[in-house]
Amino acid sequence: MNLETLMAFAGRHPMLSLALVGLTVAIAYTEIARLLRGYRAVKPAELPALMNQQNALVVDLSATADFDKGHIAGSRSLTPSQFDPQGKLLAAARQAPVVVACRNGMASASAAGKLKKAGFEQVYWLDGGIAAWQAAGLPLVKGRA
């Protein structure tokens, strides 16, 4: 394939070509934003090792009733309204790994960004949240820790 063939294809299929350019730009933007956000996504299967080997603090931002119905063993409950990077629980873990989780991964991604902006060094976000944890067949514990 040469440039002339590619240009001829683009001339015959302008909508396809425009869609390809749009998708390429969207993917590039998403990847650059992911690299610059400052925190890392952690898969459910990777989290137990992070907790056991690096003594990571896991903060669950689920509603209190949801936390009581099922949470990751050893995680600490903070509702989004209680979440404060300068608060007692989090301030003590400024140099330690901190993993933020919620039910679906949306609220925790925002909270991870706030921790990074507040100067936390090792910030992780549970990719997919508690739902992904359950989908991976990993156990939850009930009640208060």
pLDDT of residue 35: 67
- Backbone phi and psi for residue 115, each to the nearest 5 degrees, phi listed first: -65, -45
User: In the predicted model, is pLDDT for residue 7 greater than 60?
Assistant: yes
pLDDT band at 124 (very low <50, low <70, confident <90, very high): very high
Tokens at 21, concatenated = 């350019």
Beta strand 57-60 with 123-126 is: unpaired
Catalytic residues: 102
Residue 88 CA, distance from chain mean position: 23
The C-alpha atoms of residue 98 and residue 74 are separated, in whole angstroms, by: 13
The C-alpha atoms of residue 129 and residue 136 are separated, in whole angstroms, by: 11
Specify whether the CB–CB gap between 60 and 140 falls below 8 A. no
Cα 36-39-44 angle, rounded to 5 deg = 130
Specify whether the CB–CB gap between 115 and 85 falls below 8 A. yes
pLDDT of residue 34: 65
